């Protein structure tokens, strides 16, 4: 595994830490910006929406640049957004800062994952994606708690300055440790190739699967704090420790899936969705029992967002390894988060705190249904006689 892939993980770690920081600093930011808690919550929504809809456009704007140079431009935009957030005199300036960092973060994911795959041999690309995405898992495990601690002791602005320093370190490491990667072929051809991938209906269905996988997971993750305190009965001070355990579970699961994603892409996704469905239903039924709730929560951590390496591998095989395909894929993943949180809030008002868990289970079922065409294609390819005329057609990638 090239060292450059680990360097890319550091950049993703900085982006994810910035994405989650507002969630840990809501009271302080509410007071400092003279805004209500719901208004601070909209900053999280703004970041996610900017990622989903702005990231691909910024990626297209940077397609003609060599990918390393594109990463440095994105570091610059992201750094500017974080500095603006740290200096924000009012709520509206902070809102602009979150939109800027959200757009840059999404484009960085697309270019970074594309580079991770192009820097490695085809047979270990799933593992390379898992290594790069360890930055995401570590952002959940360490980034959010550390940023929250800094914000509580030194003020919320200090948390954004800390992320700014982390971003500078990641940018320097990328400049030194990541080699220059050119496009395959001429730049115009590369753009046509990336845009042409979206003519395939199968690619859109594959992207939709990722939306359901992540939506199912975040339906639970987004509301873990109130579920664990108000339904399960854990003390508020215990929840951060449980979230660290959840983050550790995602790190373990991501490593395992990364090892399996290349050769067993489709079976990994099917197994992960079935297990996630079981854990979500189990959590909904056992949420009032501390041991049962923790076991189910950790299960969701093991098989939820950790499906990312398999999802990325599948999307790249159906589409390509280019930055635009990866950026749009990240938008579909972010769409899953938006769907989960949009449905979860009203469901809690109507049916209580267990409702998002049932919504997550339903999204997992939809994810399984979206895999049916590929499962049928795989079964048909398996039963096709080796000496039949159909057997000599060009093989279809089903993973």
Do 371 and 269 contact (CB within 8 A), yes or no? yes
What 200-206 contacts at long range (C-beta under 8 Å, 24+ apart), as own/partner pairs, is: 200/318, 200/319, 202/318, 202/373, 203/315, 203/318, 203/319, 203/325, 205/370, 205/373, 206/314, 206/315, 206/318, 206/319, 206/374
Kindly tell me if the per-residue pLDDT of 333 is higher than 70.
Answer: yes
pLDDT mean over 152-175:
90
Query: Quick check: helix, strand or coil at residue 119?
Result: coil
Average pLDDT for the chain? 84
Region of 185 on the Ramachandran plot (φ > 0 left; ψ -120 to 50 alpha; else beta): left
DSSP 170: H
Q: What pLDDT, on a 0 to 100 scale, did the predictor assign at position 391?
A: 44
Least confident range from 136-140, 273-277, 297-301: namely 136-140
Q: What pLDDT, on a 0 to 100 scale, did the predictor assign at position 48?
A: 82
Q: What pLDDT, on a 0 to 100 scale, did the predictor assign at position 395?
A: 43
Query: Quick check: helix, strand or coil at residue 245?
Result: helix
Q: What pLDDT, on a 0 to 100 scale, did the predictor assign at position 44?
A: 79
Q: What pLDDT, on a 0 to 100 scale, did the predictor assign at position 41?
A: 73
Q: What pLDDT, on a 0 to 100 scale, did the predictor assign at position 388?
A: 46
C-alpha radius of gyration, the chain, whole number: 21
Q: What pLDDT, on a 0 to 100 scale, did the predictor assign at position 39?
A: 79
Kindly tell me if the per-residue pLDDT of 188 is higher than 90.
Answer: no
Q: 10 Å Cβ neighbour count for 383?
A: 6
The string of pLDDT tens digits covering residues 349-379 is 889 889 999 999 999 999 999 999 998 888 8
Q: What pLDDT, on a 0 to 100 scale, did the predictor assign at position 368?
A: 95
Question: CA–CA separation, 371 vs 331, rounded Å?
Answer: 19
Kindly tell me if the per-residue pLDDT of 122 is higher than 50.
Answer: yes
Kindly tell me if the per-residue pLDDT of 49 is higher than 80.
Answer: yes
Domains (ranges, CATH) in the chain?
Answer: 1-182 (1.20.1250.20), 197-399 (1.20.1250.20)
At 182, is the pLDDT very low, low, confident or very high (cuts 50, 70, 90)?
Answer: low
Kindly tell me if the per-residue pLDDT of 185 is higher than 50.
Answer: no
At 238, is the pLDDT very low, low, confident or very high (cuts 50, 70, 90)?
Answer: confident
The pTM assigned to this predicted structure is: 0.79
Q: What pLDDT, on a 0 to 100 scale, did the predictor assign at position 132?
A: 79
Nearest to 375 by CA among 275, 265, 276: 265
Question: CA–CA separation, 10 vs 227, rounded Å?
Answer: 31
User: Who wins on pLDDT, 398 or 82?
Assistant: 82
- The segment with the largest mean pLDDT, out of 206-220, 228-242, 270-284, is 270-284
Q: 10 Å Cβ neighbour count for 2?
A: 16
Q: What pLDDT, on a 0 to 100 scale, did the predictor assign at position 389?
A: 45
User: Who wins on pLDDT, 284 or 5?
Assistant: 284
pLDDT mean over 170-181:
86
Nearest to 248 by CA among 164, 94, 138: 138
Do 103 and 58 contact (CB within 8 A), yes or no? yes
């Amino acid at each position: 595994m090239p060292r450059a892939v680990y360097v890319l993980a550091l950049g993703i770690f900085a982006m994810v830490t910035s994405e989650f920081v507002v969630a840990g600093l809501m009271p302080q930011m509410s007071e400092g910006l003279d805004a209500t808690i719901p208004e601070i919550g909209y900053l999280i929504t703004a970041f996610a929406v900017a990622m989903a809809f702005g990231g691909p456009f910024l990626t297209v704007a940077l397609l003609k640049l060599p990918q390393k140079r594109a990463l440095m431009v994105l570091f610059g935009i992201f750094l500017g957004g974080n500095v603006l957030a740290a200096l924000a005199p009012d709520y509206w300036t902070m809102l602009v800062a979150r939109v800027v960092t959200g757009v840059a973060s999404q484009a960085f994911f697309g270019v970074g994952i594309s580079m991770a795959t192009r820097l490695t041999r085809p047979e270990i690309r799933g593992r390379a994606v898992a290594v790069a995405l360890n930055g995401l898992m570590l952002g959940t495990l360490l980034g959010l708690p550390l940023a929250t601690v800094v914000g509580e002791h030194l003020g919320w602005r200090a948390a954004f300055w800390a992320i700014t320093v982390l971003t500078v370190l990641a940018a320097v490491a990328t400049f030194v440790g990541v080699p220059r990667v050119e496009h395959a072929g001429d730049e115009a051809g590369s753009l046509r190739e990336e845009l042409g991938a979206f003519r395939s209906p199968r690619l859109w269905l594959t992207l939709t699967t990722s939306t359901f996988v992540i939506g199912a997971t975040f339906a639970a993750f987004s509301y873990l704090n109130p579920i664990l305190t108000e339904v399960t009965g854990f003390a508020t001070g215990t929840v951060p420790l449980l979230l660290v355990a959840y983050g550790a579970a995602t790190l373990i699961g991501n490593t395992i899936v990364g090892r399996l994603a290349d050769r067993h892409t489709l079976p990994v996704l099917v197994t992960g969705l079935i297990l996630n469905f079981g854990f979500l239903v189990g959590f909904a039924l056992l949420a009032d029992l501390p041991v049962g709730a923790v076991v189910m929560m950790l299960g969701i951590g093991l098989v939820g967002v950790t499906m990312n390496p398999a999802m990325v591998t599948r999307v790249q095989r159906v589409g390509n390894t280019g930055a635009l395909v990866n950026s749009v894929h990240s938008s579909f993943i972010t769409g899953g988060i938006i769907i989960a949180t949009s449905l979860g809030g009203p469901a809690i008002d109507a049916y209580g705190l267990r409702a998002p868990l049932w919504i997550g289970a339903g999204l997992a079922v939809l994810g399984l249904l979206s895999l049916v065409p590929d499962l049928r294609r795989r079964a048909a390819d398996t039963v096709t006689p080796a000496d039949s005329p159909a057997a000599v057609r060009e093989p279809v990638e089903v993973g």
